Amino acid sequence: MRVGILGAGQLGRMLALAAWPLGLQPRFYDPVPGGCAAALGPQTVAAWDDLDAVERFCAACDVVTYEFENVPLATVRHAAAFVPLFPAAQALEAAQDRLAEKALFQGLGIGTAPFAAIDGPADFDSALEAVGLPAILKSRRLGYDGKGQVAIRSGVDLERAWQRLGQVPAILEGVVPFERELSLIAVRGGHGDTVFYPLVENQHRDGLLHLSRPIVDAALQRHAQDYAVRLLDRLDHIGVLTIEWFVHGGELLGNELAPRVHNSGHWTIEGAATSQFENHLRAICGLPLGATATTGHSAMVNLISAVPRREALLALPWVHLHDYGKEPRSGRKVGHVTLCTPDEAHAEVALANVLELLA
C-alpha cells in the first residue's frame, strides 16, 4: 500500500520508519527539496498550489495524510478529491486558525483561557476589556513552536505587538496561571475504534518543547479522554489527534489541537507497545489499532540547534538517539533522545544524565 505524506520533515521521517515494517511504501510531497524524510521514500518537489502536481502525486498513492498542520487547506481539499485523505480537511481547518480552534473547544463544553478576536486597532479596547492583562497576542494562522506570539502587559504593548505580527488577524489570549502543561494523544480508526496514550507532562524552553514525560493521573486521564472523544466525533477524525492542555485549579483547559503525530508523543517509539506513528498509519490504512500500554518509565528530550557528540549520548544507559539528519541551526529541532527504563528510579538517573550532558 502506497502512503502519501504531505510534508517531508522529521514527523514524515518517523512515519516512514514506522511504515516500512508494516509493508507500507511511503512517499512525500514538499516544496523544499531534500527534506529529512526523503531518504526513506521518493519526494515530489512542487509548490503547494501546483494542483496538477498534487493530482499526479495522489495518482501514485493509495492513501494520503499530512505531517504538519500548515499545509494549505486548498491543497488538502484538492488531494481528497482524488484519493482517500486522513485526517479530513475539517480537522486541519480548525487547527489552522486559533480563533476557530478556541470556538471549537468552547462549543464542545471544553474550557479555554479567555480570548478575543482582533482584526484591527478598532478591536484593541474591547479585547483588552474582555481578556484583561497580562495577555498574549497570537497570529490566528501559521504559528507554532512559540512563533507568532507576543506577550502583552499594556495597551501600548498591544499596539506594538500588532505591528510586529504584521497587522494580521490575531487573537488576544489571557495568561492562565497554570500548574502544568499536558498533552493527550488519541487515535481513531476507520471503524470507530479508539485508543489513547497516557497523558504527557510537557516542559518548554523559549517556546520550544524541551521535555515530555508520561504521567499517571486517573481523574485527569478520564476527563482528557472524554473531551478527546467529543473532538474526534465532531471532526469525524481518523488518525492521531493531539490535544494540548493547561491544568488550572485541577481542571483541564484546551490550549491547542494538532490533527497529526506530535512531538510530545515521540517517547512512544520505545516506550509504548505501539508507537503513535505506527498507530496513525494503522488508522489511515484501515488496519487494527495497536495497544498503547507503556513498556517502562519513559521520557523524551528534544535536541535543539545541534546534536551533541553521539558517542557521549550513546554511552549513557537506557538512551535512544534519534538524529533527523538536519543541518545544525539555532532554534531548530534536529533530533531527540528517548529514555525507557524498567523502574522510576532508573528513569530519574537516566534523565539527569542526559540533561547534564545537554546543559
**Positions in the chain whose pLDDT score sits under 50:** none
pLDDT at 353: 95
DSSP lists the bridge partners of residue 256 as 244
CATH architecture for segment(s) 180-358? 2-Layer Sandwich (3.30)
pTM to 2 decimals? 0.95
Same fold, 114-174 and 180-358: no
pLDDT at 159: 87
CATH architecture for segment(s) 114-174? 2-Layer Sandwich (3.30)
Instruction: Give the SS3 label for residue 182.
Output: strand
What cell was used for 315?
554511552
User: Does residue 13 contact residue 36 with C-beta atoms inside 8 Å?
Assistant: yes
**Domain positions in the chain:** 2-85, 114-174, 180-358
pLDDT digits (tens, 9 = 90+) for 298-320: 999 999 999 999 999 999 999 99
pLDDT at 293: 97
Residues in contact with 165: Cβ distance below 8 Å, sequence separation at least 6, in sequence order: 137, 139, 148, 150
Q: Report the CATH fold assignment for 2-85.
A: Rossmann fold (3.40.50)
DSSP letters along 199-240, please?
A: PEEEEEETTEEEEEEE---HHHHHHHHHHHHHHHHHHT--EE
pLDDT at 148: 79
Residues in contact with 222: Cβ distance below 8 Å, sequence separation at least 6, in sequence order: none
pLDDT at 267: 98
pLDDT digits (tens, 9 = 90+) for 23-63: 999 999 999 999 999 999 999 999 999 999 999 999 999 99
